[in-house]
Amino acid sequence: MNTQNAEFLKKTLLNLGFGEKLNAELDKQLEARAPEFNLSAQHEFNQKTVDYTLHFKAGDNQDMYFFNKYDATINHPENPAKNADQTFYINKGSGITAKEAFNLMEGRAVHKTLFNLEGEKYQAWLTLDDKNLTESGNKRIKHFHENYGYDLEKVIAGKGIKELEEPKTKEDILYSLKKGNMQQITVGSADGDKKFFIAANPQFKTVDLYDHQQKKIKREELLQPAQQTAKSVKQKEQQQEELPAKKQSRKSKLHV
């Protein structure tokens, strides 16, 4: 067994969120020197079970093994028709993590550092395209590059989110949202603090808003109470300004 290759594969598994539980089985398979083999893993996120099948393949001389891809399946025991499958590819030990895969399959966006064909780094938001499939049925990945103009920090600023008042908490929330998580926030109001969940939506340059049961609601509910009050006052003033004009118009018609 190539110990250097084995250590690299173990580090890759750790970095991609599969931990160290697979290491013993990985060593066993590497010692067997089969042309290719699979490892199985299972995680639970948001009370949903995800099964993973990790694919390893030997190089030409069977001394080096490569972790090329993994399949992920979100299981819905109560309704198997809702089960979701997706294959994620690994490039030189880097790629979508196990948790990011779950978030993408749940319809949320993930922010990643990627490399172009010239090996240059770039930042992009990724989402799965439900309407654009490969021949094997895998959903293609949509890229929203930096020049697309989605600035998550600016989008959530000025919305009265209390967690953004503390620099460290703000940093943690932005990090979590970029990983594709649905993040709970607190917004102050005249009726007391309200809890919401938000998730990044780079395609429409906004955030999706959810109630405490994680059901999607209108984004307007995220407006600060002060903003809502100002909006109501402005609408009332406009109505009052329009009222005399309407009365005058009726009078004119009566005199004709």
- Tell me the pLDDT tens digit for each residue of 207-220: 999 998 888 898 66
Interval 193-209: pLDDT, tens? 899 999 999 999 999 99
Contacts 24+ apart (CB under 8 A), 217-222: 221/196, 222/159, 222/160, 222/187, 222/196, 222/198
**In this predicted structure, what is the pLDDT of residue 238?**
59
pLDDT band at 186 (very low <50, low <70, confident <90, very high): very high
Q: pLDDT tens-digit profile of 72-94?
A: 999 887 778 888 999 999 988 88
Q: Output the pLDDT for position 254.
A: 33
CA 227 – CA 189 distance, rounded (Å): 11
pLDDT value of position 92? 84
Sign of torsion over alpha carbons 38, 40, 45, 49: positive
Q: Given a cut of 70, is residue 252 above it in pLDDT?
A: no
Is the pLDDT reported for residue 227 higher than 80?
A: no
Query: For the chain, what is the mean pLDDT?
Result: 87
